[in-house]
Structure 1
Amino acid sequence: MNQILTRRLEHPDLAQSHSLGTEAYGGSRVPAPLPSEEEWSRSPVRSWGAFDGDILVARLSVYGVTSWFGGAKVPTAGIAGVAVSPEHRGRGLLRPVFAAALAEARERGEVISTLFPTAPGIYRGFGYEIVGSYDDVELPLSALSRVRAPEGVTVRRATIEDVPALEGVHARWAAAQNGPLTRDEEPFAVPAEEWFTEYTGVTVAEQDGEITGFVSWDRGEGYDPRKAVIEVDDLDALTPGAARALWASLGSHASVVGRVRVSTSGTDPAWLVLPDLTTSIVRTRPYMLSILDVPGALGAVRLAPLTARVPFAVRGGGADEQVTGAYVLEVSDGVPLATRDTSAGPEADDRPVLTGRGLALSYAGAQPAANLRASGDLTGPDTYDATWTALFGGRQVHVRDYF
């Protein structure tokens, strides 16, 4: 094997990249039309690869996006399209590719990174941990037969004039969670016309002249209730009345459609209004998070409205040299400031020590301190455990876009 070279992919590398992706994820062996060099230069995706001589043997792509965490928009490096040629697997080729891609992400101000893994164990070695999941969940439309829209809430088909309101509903919902993309950047920013070309319909719930929820749905094929399925991308509701009205609208198809398949995550509050939760998970996609810049990531969010000073350290669990070290987190009425603590000893044994994965779980509010200790991702004195849990708790993890 030649010396491995890691670099950004260029337009002439696209054919090899396509072939490598086809081997990893399946697909036609007939090459898809490749973008022109001009189209490639405009792409929001940053692609990196490892080369054995002239042969591309590993690759990944990075989306520069923003995610909602702690009520704030956090710059995020979204990793996708990770692939290694079968003959080169097991040789650690992803490590230099990840190192280069994440170094660039840090330079661009992206303070966290996320990805959808096919093999989570690989990415735990880079400091990523599962914090949530993006799932396709089915329920029979018969389960919606007892759902009724409350008085004062009506539904109607959305028009293009409603798009700002639809975006506003989604933003209000997403800002209250940890994890959703803001949909501010390509390819996740949805042009107004695509709301109506990508779906059979977008139905809105309205109360007192205000749109308080919407559902984007595809009718699918056929009218045999034993086979027909309605697919839902987004069902966002800001009130229980909106949720009931939207579910009831979907349930009105029950005579010709047997099931609805909803892309969702976690314990979505829109589901809590249903009298019957006879659901089945059709597909699950775990979502992983890693912290790239501790002061930057912690300083970007708003925590619980407390005032506290918590010394901590990060070591092991995939944490690289940019993350490893001792810190002090100072919070004033929920406003955090994290700084490196150069006065700490080399082992920082005077304070709680989180692994890189444990820090990711804390940041997402996915696990309390007690569970991190049970998993080995938090060690050292437990003096601050209750405070740490309270600071990062209070928001669910949700995901609504796949990459």
Structure 2
Amino acid sequence: MPARDLTTEDLAAYRRLTAEAFGGVPSEVPAPFSPAQIPIGIDAAVVPGDERTMLAAGACIRRDEIALGGGTASCGGIGGLAVHPAHRGVGLFSELIDAALGRCAAEGMAFSMLYPSNPAIYRRHGYQLIARTHAIVLPLGELQRVARVPGRRTVAVTEHTMPRLRALYEELTAGDNGMLRRRGPLFPEGLPAAPWGAILLQDDEGRDRGYLSFSRISPGSDGAGLEVHEVLGRDREDLLALLHHLGSWSTVTYAARLRLRTEDPVLDLLPGGGLRTPDDIVPLVMMRLVDTARALRARPAPEHCRGTLDLWVEDTTPAAASCRAAGGWRVDVHDGAIEVEQLDPDAAPASLEGSLGRVELDVHAAALLLSGGRSLADARRLGLRAESDPPAERLLDAVLAGPRPSVMDAF
């Protein structure tokens, strides 16, 4: 049951398929596929015993780019994956996932990422849970206790100043793991659609120090009348200045729902004990290693790290043949860079010459570790295969160190 690229002629059929799977009513004039997406699908006519000309399954691959410890890696974001109810249970889901991963590999992507409602079915294809999105409900009156920070002022974000916000985002999240680079064509230039708004924070010299983005909403059951998308600043004082500004919203709404990164420094600055978590389903983020060599080369190495190790990745999932994750690589770390050379499996014992040792990972441990911010010990605590010679383990842990992954898909 081969998958194929979808075209403009398939738009209506794909929109009907996804509307039936996820809810809603498809538009009579469906929005065209984005140039930042690769839509693929499987025709019903290729299902044995069924000659109807309709779309049996479909998905879109986003051409994402993610931050990787100071580097940038290409990543296929899988979304809109749906199988028609009449064609479920015959293997089309696996067929479509494998085709999507094969296309990611052909496009030179290092990873694939998705936000699952059922993690188990994706785990069977090599996806590993790497992060969850975080949010808190913050009583805004408590922020009135945050003192004003001297030498800081706020500036409205307009069409004219939006490029400065984008540049600041790129700079402040460059050292993160997993954060989207938010570049075109996925993220077109200009302001996001209303009711989105934002303010920039400047110092007395006019240098941009941070920003706060938000949307005014109708209060829900948690009392939040403000959705705060991001609070980013260069340092602690900048974040305090932004929180002081956020407290000014207490005159018009009781609380804000604040989106956070995994290890967000904002949490260390919030006063009071009135913080709550929203009563929502926890959105999860899963990552699949598609190309081990590309994932390693995409990341710069810490300047102090030097050495060589042999990395072996085992992939026994159904999607193994679609990806370039399995195999062995000589990983040489020096002068802030990572060089990778594929090893001959038959020469594995001899390959240790000149190496600190051997690291052996299953594909789930490899996805967890190469996404950044986790150690081999973390992988073992999760029950994943992560075996290593101690010197090689210390080197790999040092190379992949950093904040745990965070994924925020919009400004």
Q: Is there any run of 5+ residues in structure 2 with no aligned partner, and where?
A: 46-52
Deviation at 1:225? 11
Q: Distance in 2 between matches of 1:185 and 1:125?
A: 32
Q: Secondary structure in 2 aligned to 1:361?
A: helix
Taking structure 2 as the reference length, what is the TM-score of the superposition? 0.86
Q: Is the Cα–Cα contact under 8 Å of residues 67 and 180 in structure 1 kept in the other structure?
A: yes
> Does residue 1:356 correspond to 2:363, yes or no?
yes
**2:41 corresponds to:** 49
Q: Which structure 2 residues correspond to residues 361-372 of structure 1 after superposition, within 5 A?
A: 361-372=368-379
Whole-angstrom CA distance in 2 between matches of 1:16 and 1:85: 11
TM superposition shift of 1:265: 2.6
2:295 is aligned to 297
2:28 counterpart (26, 29, 33):
33
1:233 is aligned, of 229, 232, 248, to: 229
* SS of structure 2 residue aligned to 1:160: coil
For 1:127 and 1:198, how far apart are their aligned partners in 2?
38
Q: CA shift at 1:88, angstroms?
A: 3.1
How far has the Cα of 1:6 moved from its partner?
1.9
**Structure 1 residue aligned with 2:48:** none
- Could you say if the C-alpha distance between residues 177 and 55 of structure 1 is closer, same or farther in structure 2, counting changes exceeding 3 Å? same
Secondary structure in 2 matching 1:235: strand
| Residues in 1 aligned to 2:4 and 2:55: alpha-carbon distance in whole angstroms | 10
Residue matched to 1:243: 239
Do the aligned residues in 2 keep the contact of 1:137 with 1:282 (CA within 8 Å)? no
Amino acid corresponding to residue 81 of structure 1 in structure 2: G
Greater Cα offset, 132-141 or 298-307: 132-141
Contact 2:21–2:82 under 8 Å retained in 1:
yes
Q: How large is the Cα RMSD of the aligned pairs?
A: 2.7
Distance 1:227 1:312, change over 3 A: closer
Give the CA deviation at 1:157. Answer: 2.3
Superposed CA offset, 1:253-300 (max 9, x none):
213311101233312113322223623144432111112111111111
Distance 1:94 1:292 in 2: 18
Given candidates 335, 352, 355, the residue that maps to 2:337 is: 335
CA contact (8 A) 2:44 2:55 kept: yes
1:376 alignment partner, SS class: coil
1:203-242 map, 5 Å: 203-208=199-204, 209-221=206-218, 227=223, 229-242=225-238
Q: What secondary structure does 1:155 align onto?
A: strand
Q: What is the match of residue 4 of structure 2?
A: 7
Which residues in structure 2 correspond to 1:65-84 (within 5 Å)?
65-84=64-83
8 A Cα contact 2:179 2:407, kept in partner: yes
Partners of 2:20 and 2:88 lie apart in 1 by: 13
Aligned to 1:324: 326
Contact kept, 8 Å, 1:308 with 1:331, in 2: the verdict is: yes
The answer to whether residue 14 in structure 2 is matched with residue 17 in structure 1 is yes
What residue is the counterpart of 1:395 in the other structure?
403
Q: Would the aligned equivalents of 1:302 and 1:335 in 2 still touch at CA under 8 Å?
A: yes
User: CA 1:133–1:225 in 2, change beyond 3 Å: closer, same or farther?
Assistant: closer
Tell me, which stretches of 5 or more residues in structure 1 are unaligned? none
Code of the residue aligned with 1:18 in structure 2: it is R
Work out the percentage of aligned pairs sharing the same amino acid: 26
